[in-house]
Amino acid sequence: MKKYVIAMDQGTTSSRCILFDRQGNICSVAQKEFPQLYPQPGWVEHDPMEIWSTQMGVTMEAMQKVDARAGEIAAIGITNQRETTVVWDGATGEPVYNAIVWQCRRTADRIDRLRQDGWWEAIRRRTGLIPDAYFSASKIAWLLDHVPGARARAERGELKFGTVDSWLIWNLTEGRVHATDRTNASRTMLYDIHKLCWDREILDYFRIPASMLPQVYPSSHIYGATGRFGGSIPIAAAAGDQQAALFGQCGFEPGDVKSTYGTGGFLLMNTGGQAVRSTKGLLTTIAASAGQPVSYALEGSVFVAGAAIQWLRDELRMLRSAPQSEGFCTAVEDTRGVYVVPAFAGMGAPYWEPYARGTIVGLTRGVTKEHLVRAVVESLAYQTNDLLLAMKEESGLPIASLKVDGGASANSFLMQFQSDLSDIRIDRPRCIETTALGAAYLAGLAVGYWQDLEEIRANWGRERAFTPSIPADIRERLVRGWNRAVRCALAWAREED
Ligand code: ADP
C-alpha cells in the first residue's frame, strides 16, 4: 500500500523534503540550510556535494519521522532552484567546479558581448528569455573556459551539464540517468521552447558540446528509480520551483495565475498551448503539465517584495518582525498620499530601468511611521499589479482570480489591498507549500497515485478569499499616484550625470 509521495524541494538556501498523503496533507517535513559561497563580489556558488548530501539527509530524516519505508512511497518528485549550473565528470560523478548559482553575475560581460554579436533577438525568440547572466548558458561557457582542461574533456564527451534537478536525478540513479524536464531546460537559454529541442546554433555560439546536455522529458514522467532509501522508488517528476508552484496551486488552465510574495515576487500565468511573446519584458517559459501537450506560461518578477519589509525591520528598525507590519497598516486609514517605490536594485518588468533607485514621494509633516510602513507594504501590491496588467494585456486572457503564496501572503491587509487595487478575487490556499506540493502532484500523476487533475483539484482548499471592496474612482486615483511615483524613480535614474 503506497501511503506517501515525496517532494524533494532543493532551494537556493536550503534543501527540504516533504511527505504528502493522497489528500495533499503534509505528513512530514525536514529541512537543512547549506552554505552560500561568495568567492568574489557578485559571485555566488554552492558546493554540489552539499546540495546532494543535504537533500539525501533531509529525505531520510523526513521518512524516519513517520517511519516510512521505501515500499510505502509511491514516487519522488523533484523541484529545484532554477538555472543554477553543475558540470561533472560522467565517469566519476565528480563536479569539475562548484555549482554557479542563478544569482551569480560573473558572466554579465558575456551577455553584453552577445548583444554586440547580434544574438539578442534570436535568443529572445527561440528561448523565450531576455538574455541574462541568470540563465545557465553563459555559466556553462564560463566553466569550460576557466576550469583547466574542462573544454578538452567536454569535447571528448566526458563531462555532463545539469541544472539541480539533473544533478539530483544523476545521483539518485547512481549515474544511470542524465535527464531534465522541459521547465528546467527552458531556463538554460539553450532550449528552443517552440521546437522543444536544444538549439544547435545557440550551443555552437556558446561553444557548448551537445554531448554534455541531458535528455529532456515532460515534468511528469518516470525518469528512473532510486535504490538509495532501502528499496526501489520511482523518480516520477522534475520541475523548476516557480512552475511547480503554479501546478501546486492547480494553475492548469489558460488564464490561471499565481503570485508568490517571498523575498522577491514571482507571477506566473498559464497561457495553455500558446507561447505568448512579450513586448513588455515578461519571459515566455514552459509550464509544468501532466499530459504530453506542452503548456506555456508568462513570467514576471518583482525584484524587491518581502525584502522591502526586511529593510523596514533591519535597516530602518521600524519593525521587530515582518508580521508586525500588518498592525501598522491597519492602524491608519491610508498612507496620507505617500508612495514608496522600493527600486533598490533597479526596476524590472514592465519598466526595465536598471539605474532606477528607491524613492519616497508625497511626504508631509503629518506622516507617521504607520503611514510609511503601509506605503511599503502597498508597494508589493502595486508592483504585482503592474505585472498583472502586462500579463492580461499581452495574453488577452481574462484572469478570474489570483492564487497567492509565499511568506508575505500571510499579511491579510496586503491581500485585501491587492484585491482592491487589481479588482480581482484573491484565493489564499490552506497549503502554502505549493512548490513542494506541485512536485508531489506531478510525480503522483505519473505513477497513478492520483488518477487525474480532478482528483487533485478536489484537494485544493481555500484558507481565505479576498474580494474587491473599493469603487473604481478610488482605485484609479491610487494607481495614478503610483504611476506618478514610478515616474519619479525613473527620472532619478535618467538624470544621472
Ligand atoms: P523566500 O522563500 O524568498 O525566502 P518566504 O516565502 O519565506 O521567502 O517569505 C519571506 C518574506 O516575506 C520576507 O521577506 C519577509 O519580510 C516577508 N514576510 C513574512 N511575513 C510577512 C508578513 N506577515 N507581512 C509582510 N511581509 C512578510
328-366 confidence digits (pLDDT tens): 999 999 999 999 999 987 888 898 887 888 999 999 999
Query: Using 50, 70 and 90 to split pLDDT, how confident is the model at 392?
Result: very high
Q: What number is the average pLDDT over the span 310-320?
A: 94
497 pLDDT more than 60: no
Distance in Å, CA 67 to ligand 1 centroid: 32
Distance (angstroms) between ligand 1 centre and the Cα of 411 equals 9
With a cut of 80, say whether residue 205 has pLDDT above it: yes
> Quick check: CB of 262 below 6 Å from ligand 1?
yes
In sequence order, the 6+-apart residues with CB closer than 8 A to the CB of 455 are none
- Reply yes or no on whether the pLDDT at 36 is more than 90: no
pLDDT tens digits for range 46-91 = 999 999 999 999 999 999 999 999 999 999 999 999 999 999 999 9
Distance 352 CA to ligand 1 centre (A): 24
Atom 21 in ligand 1: residue holding the nearest Cα: 408
Question: What is the model's pLDDT at position 66?
Answer: 96
Summarize the confidence of residues 92-106 as an average pLDDT.
93
Q: Average pLDDT of 114-140? A: 94
pLDDT above 70 coverage of the chain, percent: 100
Q: Which residue has the higher pLDDT, 142 or 290?
A: 142
Report whether 239 contacts 219 (CB < 8 A). Answer: yes
User: What number is the average pLDDT over the span 275-286?
Assistant: 94
pLDDT value of residue 357: 86
The per-residue pLDDT for 1 is 79
Quick: pLDDT tens for 457-490: 998 888 999 999 999 999 999 999 999 999 999 9
- Name the residue with the closest Cα to ligand 1, atom 2: 262
pLDDT at 496 over 70: no
For residue 241, pLDDT over 80 is answered with yes
For the residues 268-273, what does the mean pLDDT come to?
A: 95
CB atoms within 10 A of CB 69: 11
Q: pLDDT exceeding 90 applies to what percent of the chain?
A: 84
